[in-house]
Every structure is written in structure tokens, then in C-alpha cells.
Structure 1
Amino acid sequence: MVCLACLLWLAAPVSAADVAAGVRERLEQPTVLRGRFEQEKQVQGFKNPLRSSGDFLLLREHGIAWDTTAPFASNAVLTRQRMATRLPDGSEQVLIDAAEGPAASATASLLMALVAGDLDVLAERFDIRETLHGSAAWELHLVPKEAALQRVFSGLRLAGDRHVREVLIEEAGGDRTRVRLLDLASDPPAPSDAEVARFD
């Protein structure tokens, strides 16, 4: 396992403008992105990680839909205003609602920014250190600026090329979540009516 703290100190700190010159030069921002995900969560005190996988749909103007297929089927829709999940029995549970206050709104916006690679939003909330690899790959190491976020996250890492390919979330309590984004495709470049309707 790479020492995240070591990389944070070895990589040069960057401003939002520097990020634009490095990662932004490589990172595409398609209107639509479709693919698969694999998530692994290592919980303190448990030997084996919790794993899930499925498909996702990112519509930049609307949000992200996660369709988990394993270990059981469920659907989650994340927008900048809310996150809701739908279970196989048809019931819906709202996990985050921006109407509940600024903290919920910030959480929804942050989760969306991590997967979408919205560097402007991330630069507002995190100190960012950038590492470029070759002519295409990159990593961003994020350390929360605010005390409220520091109580939740010890650090985050994004890695990718033309798209975000991996998100690593390290929680202050020691839990760790890794999300890999696979088989990414931005064609067709416009969402279908059915895809847009998922965010209504």
C-alpha cells in the first residue's frame, strides 16, 4: 500500500490555476458518461472488505445514477440537491436532502464533484496536491481545509486520465472506501429521454 501521507508531502502543492494547467489539460468533461463501478469498503475491526459492483450513469447537468447489481440489487440517484436510494421492493429512502440545511447541500455537492471530477468545487473545500504521470495519467491528493470535513475525512485521492478512474476515501475513523470506474464511454454524447427521466 502506498503511503498516502508520504505522497501528500512529496507532491508539490497546487493552486486552482495550477490544477487547471495540469489535470484540467488531461481531464475531459463529457456531458454523458456511462460505465461500471466496483466499490470496496474496508471497515475498522473487520477482516474482509465489503464489496459491491454495478453500473453508473453520469449526466453532468443532472447527477449520477448508481445501479448496484451485487451483492444485491439497488439503485441510488445523486444530484447536487439530494441522494436517494430505491430498493428492490420499490421503497425509496432519501439519504441526503439539501433542504435540510447547508451541511446536507455541501455533502451532495461534494459527492457529485468527486465522481464528476469537478475541480472547482473540490478546490474550494480541499488543499490539492497534483502528481502527473507520463502524458496522460494523473493523481490528485485532497486534504480537507475545514474542521467539519476533517472530522469526517483524513484524505481523498482521485486518479485517472481522460476521466476519473478511481476514488479513494480515507475516513478519519480509519475506514477506507475505494471506487473504481471501469469501461467508461461517452457515446452517444446526448442522454436519452429515459436517462434524463431518472433524475426527475
Structure 2
Amino acid sequence: MISGKTRLLLLSLLLPLWASASASEPAAASSSAQALITALGQPAPAHTAFAEARFLQVLARPLVVSGQLSWLGGDQLQRRVDHPQQETATIANGEVTQQRVGKSPRHFSLKRAPQLQVLLDSFVALLSGDAGRLQQAFEIRQTGDAAAAWTLTLLPRDAKVAKTVASITIDGYAKESRCMHMQEADGDLAIDLLGALAAKMPAQPTREALQALCQGTP
């Protein structure tokens, strides 16, 4: 069984999506949402800067980290944290590797956390623009204009997954994802600012300030 700290790290690494097989055919996302997801697809390797604020109920202030998220193709993902301390987490070939400066690498199989394997599968589906694969795991809702500001809300179909993550929301503008919000079932929340927006992470972020940044015009 993986620890809570490791689970949080991996959920951040795999943020924001996962796919699972369904015995019944799920209702299709709207045509506009499918077109938007297709437009978000990109070739590998793909890299983006990120800054994340994690609001935990047990802490008075959010935890803030920043670095780079990378999709290296296939099921290979990497999350490199540069601040406040250097740390890299990589997923490749069904194995997770965690590396910290001055310490030996830690390895473990995703088989120890099958829901994270599901998350990995759907993250790849999103990055490759595969709306059909994505909707196997999520009810997909879109608001806004795909040519301007928009929001995608993803609600997990699998009850077991929903016990960990209640919803994932992606804010964007045109073909660019600007923010990702992961609302965990226990009330904790992670908000990631992506790309150029990452440099605008406040020194003392609040949920309200980050929401304003996410929904602002580039």
C-alpha cells in the first residue's frame, strides 16, 4: 500500500486525467467538447512549466512547488520540481521512479496503485487528443467558447476512483490549457498554473486569487 504523501505526489504527476474500461457504453461528450479535446492534442515530447498550490485541510497555508511537466510519448511522464527543492518523479513502462538530490532513487510498480495506472492512461488520452478514450472514464462537461475562454469539468465514472478524486477542472483559452484544478474527495485541492501563467503564482496564493488568474484573458 502506498503512503498518503506518495499518493499525493503521483496524483500531481499524473494530473489531470485517467481512463477506465466500462461495461456499458458511456454517454458521449458534446460535439464541441470532443472538438476541443481533439484540438488540445499535441505531439510528444511536450513540456510545460507549472506552479502548483496544494490546499490541505490540515495546513493553514498552501504548499507551493514549481518546475516542469513533460510527456515523453506513450506512457512516459515526468514531473520535475525545481523549487523549493529539487525532485523528479518519472513514470515509464509501468514503474514509478522518485529521485531527490543526495538520495538514492526509489522505484515501485504501478501495480501497487492500479487507480494511478488508470489515471496515466487517460492523461495520455488527453495529451493525444483522444476524446473517445477519455470519456470512457469521465463525464465531460464544457462551458465557455472553444475559440476563447473555456472550462472542461471531468467527473469520474468509476465509484472507486471517485473516492479519491471528486472532480478535475481545466481552464483554458483557445487551444491552450492554462490551469488544472484537482478536487480530492477528502476536501483537499490542488491548483496548477501552466505555461506562461506559472510565473504569476502569488507568493501567498489563495483559492480566489488563483481562480481569477485561471479565468483571466491571456
Q: TM-score, normalised by structure 1?
A: 0.71
Displacement of 1:150 in angstroms is 1.4
Matching of residues 1-200 of structure 1 within 5 Å: 15-16=28-29, 18=31, 21-24=34-37, 26-79=39-92, 81-94=94-107, 97-100=109-112, 102-113=114-125, 119-133=131-145, 135-160=147-172, 161-183=174-196
More strand by share: 1
- Is contact 1:28-1:162 (8 Å) kept? no
Q: TM-score, normalised by structure 2?
A: 0.66
Structure 1: tracts of 5 or more residues without a match = 1-13, 185-200
Displacement of 1:166 in angstroms is 1.7
Give the secondary structure class of the aligned counterpart of 2:135. helix
Displacement of 1:90 in angstroms is 4.2
Give the secondary structure class of the aligned counterpart of 1:47. coil
Give the number of aligned pairs. Answer: 170
Structure 2: tracts of 5 or more residues without a match = 1-26, 198-218
- Code of the residue aligned with 1:59 in structure 2: it is L
How far apart in 2 are the matches of 1:151 and 1:88?
33
Displacement of 1:55 in angstroms is 2.0
**CA-atom RMSD, angstroms?**
2.8
Displacement of 1:39 in angstroms is 0.8
Alignment deviations for residues 84-126 of structure 1 (CA, whole Å, 9 cap, x no partner): 211102422236x234474452243245556666534431111
How far apart in 2 are the matches of 1:171 and 1:23?
25
Percent identity, aligned pairs only? 24
How far apart in 2 are the matches of 1:143 and 1:54?
27
